[in-house]
Amino acid sequence: MPLQNRVTPSGDLIAVPERGLVYGNRGCLHDSYGNIRRHHNGRRWIACRLSFRGRHRSPLLQPGRYTELFFLDEATALAAGHRPCAECRRVDFDRFVQLWSARHPGETGADVIDRRLHAERLQPDGRHQRRHLILAGDLPDGAMIIEQGEPWLVCGDELGRWTPGGYSDRVARPKNHEVEVLTAPSLLYILASGWSPMVPLLHPSAQRS
């Protein structure tokens, strides 16, 4: 039975068989029985490599330990509000900080980055995702938007409908009207600056065969 630890672009946790290509956490979200009880625990939301130095935790969702999360790809993790891990993705993290500092001069430490990012990704109630209205034509590849109540990936002149197992139902990207954007503004800047992480930025299904 799938665990409720797969993350959607909206930041929600769902139970599906597909694991995805990126790993991460946002603190301990489950109780001693492995049931999800909270949306997040703290401001440190990170996205990691699936494999690092042979580490392997089994079983998952152990009492008192962080909740292991899985994302379809990096674009999904960014849309949900996660940034690169400073340990298993040190090269990515250092590049992320460099780009972040160009957007927010003087902000270089993980704590100050997480503080700003937390305000960008959540509404004042501290639970629901904050969305931003932006012209669709101004969005970089890898951004995620909401159309007709579903998440879609921006990929060139097209949108791909997000599913837990990949992208489907390609449609033309609208250019001249505002759309609801899931990816936080500072992370849109990272994507627009040529972000190229070690983990897969996009699931292979995002590319046309």
β strands within 33-165, DSSP E: 46-48, 69-71, 83-84, 132-135, 144-147, 150-155, 158-163
Q: What pLDDT does residue 140 have?
A: 97
User: Whole-model pTM above 0.85?
Assistant: yes
pLDDT for residue 23 is more than 60: yes
Provide the terminal-to-terminal Cα distance of the chain, rounded to the nearest Å: 32
Give alpha helix (H) positions in 55-197: 74-80, 90-103, 110-121, 185-192
pLDDT for residue 46 is more than 80: yes
- How do residues 163-199 score in pLDDT, each as one tens digit? 999 999 899 998 888 999 999 999 999 999 999 999 9
- Angle made by CA atoms 167, 93, 25, in degrees to the nearest 5: 60
Q: Checking DSSP bridges between strand 46-48 and strand 83-84, what pairing results, if any?
A: parallel
- How do residues 60-105 score in pLDDT, each as one tens digit? 999 999 999 999 999 999 999 999 999 999 999 999 999 999 999 9
- How do residues 180-190 score in pLDDT, each as one tens digit? 999 999 999 99
Q: What pLDDT does residue 172 have?
A: 94
pLDDT for residue 209 is more than 70: no
Tell me the residue type at 203.
H
Tokens of 186: 């500072």
pLDDT for residue 56 is more than 80: no
CB 101 within 8 A of CB 190: no
CB 175 within 8 A of CB 137: yes
* Structure confidence at residue 58 as a pLDDT band (50, 70, 90): confident
Tell me the residue type at 156.
G
pLDDT for residue 114 is more than 70: yes
Neighbours of 34 (CB within 10 A): 15
- How do residues 135-157 score in pLDDT, each as one tens digit? 999 999 999 999 989 999 999 99
The span from the CA of 107 to the CA of 95, in Å, is 13
